[in-house]
């Protein structure tokens, strides 16, 4: 889900960079020292998951786990995703430095939206409600990311419209898979250490 160099206009790149800086600043402000190990683990998971590409038709897709990062990190997902994307751009040339801001917003902003949209059902004591909220957070984060990716490509020119459509279709199975992963992770955590979720949502 990386947009490569030379695709987007300077205006879109500048707007994405500004939003990424703002989101990262908020995330760093909310980052407490005792949460750094948790952030590091989730950043590593994001980094590794994004490297495993699965070909689907004319496109290739990969997990991002941005919904899961939204659940467990809140606004801190912004700097965590930014670090993961920087490492991918430097080490493997995935995306690029000029598109770093846009790519960060495409993956981190949906994580924040789903963090707030599904916080109440995720923390519910009713298992069915919590599982449904967790699934929708994982599913919805990918859906929003793909839609934002498609919108950015449409702004890049009509010749990218077909690519945008393919991306939306290709990532449909990933939405379901990420929803299942988020559900299983939240279910496990609520069994072994449920207070973590309360801490995350209290701090944002």
Give the tens place of pLDDT for each residue, 138-159. Answer: 999 999 998 898 888 777 665 6
The answer, yes or no, to whether residue 10 has pLDDT greater than 90, is no
**C-alpha neighbours within 13 Å on the C-beta side of residue 40:** 6
To 10 degrees, what angle do helices 10-30 and 127-156 make?
Answer: 150
Highest mean pLDDT: which range of 48-57, 78-87, 154-163: 78-87
Specify whether the CB–CB gap between 98 and 106 falls below 8 A. no
**58 pLDDT tier (thresholds 50, 70, 90):** very low
**What average pLDDT does the segment 59-72 reach?**
83
Domain ranges within the chain, ordered by starting residue: 10-203
| Predicted local distance difference test score (pLDDT) of residue 4 | 74
- Number of Cβ atoms within 10 Å of the Cβ of 170: 18
Of 193, 197, 178, 203, the closest CA to residue 49 belongs to 178
The answer, yes or no, to whether residue 104 has pLDDT greater than 70, is yes
| Predicted local distance difference test score (pLDDT) of residue 201 | 66
> DSSP class of residue 2?
P
- Number of Cβ atoms within 10 Å of the Cβ of 145: 27
| Predicted local distance difference test score (pLDDT) of residue 123 | 85
SS3 (DSSP) at 61: strand
Percent of the chain with pLDDT over 90: 44
The answer, yes or no, to whether residue 22 has pLDDT greater than 60, is yes
The answer, yes or no, to whether residue 118 has pLDDT greater than 70, is yes
Q: Which CATH number fits domain 10-203: 1.20.1530.20, 3.30.70.20, 1.10.10.10, 1.10.1760.20?
A: 1.10.1760.20
**92 pLDDT tier (thresholds 50, 70, 90):** confident
């Amino acid at each position: 889900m990386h947009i490569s160099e030379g695709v987007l206009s300077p205006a879109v790149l500048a707007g994405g960079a500004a939003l990424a800086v703002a989101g990262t600043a908020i995330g760093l402000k909310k980052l407490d020292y005792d949460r750094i190990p948790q952030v590091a683990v989730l950043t590593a998971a994001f980094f590794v998951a994004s490297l495993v590409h699965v070909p689907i038709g004319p496109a290739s897709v990969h997990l991002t786990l941005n919904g899961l990062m939204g659940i467990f990190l809140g606004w801190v997902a912004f700097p965590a995703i930014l670090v993961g994307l920087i490492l991918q751009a430097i080490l493997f040339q995935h995306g690029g430095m000029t598109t770093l801001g846009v790519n960060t917003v495409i993956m981190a902003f949906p994580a924040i939206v789903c963090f707030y949209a599904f916080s109440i059902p995720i923390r519910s004591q009713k298992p069915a409600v919590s599982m449904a909220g967790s699934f929708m957070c994982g599913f919805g984060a990918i859906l929003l990311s793909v839609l934002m990716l498609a919108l950015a490509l449409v702004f890049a020119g009509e010749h990218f419209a077909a690519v945008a459509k393919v991306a939306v279709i290709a990532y449909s199975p990933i939405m379901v898979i990420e929803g299942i992963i988020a559900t299983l992770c939240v279910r496990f955590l609520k069994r072994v250490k449920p207070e973590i979720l309360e801490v995350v949502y209290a701090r944002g």
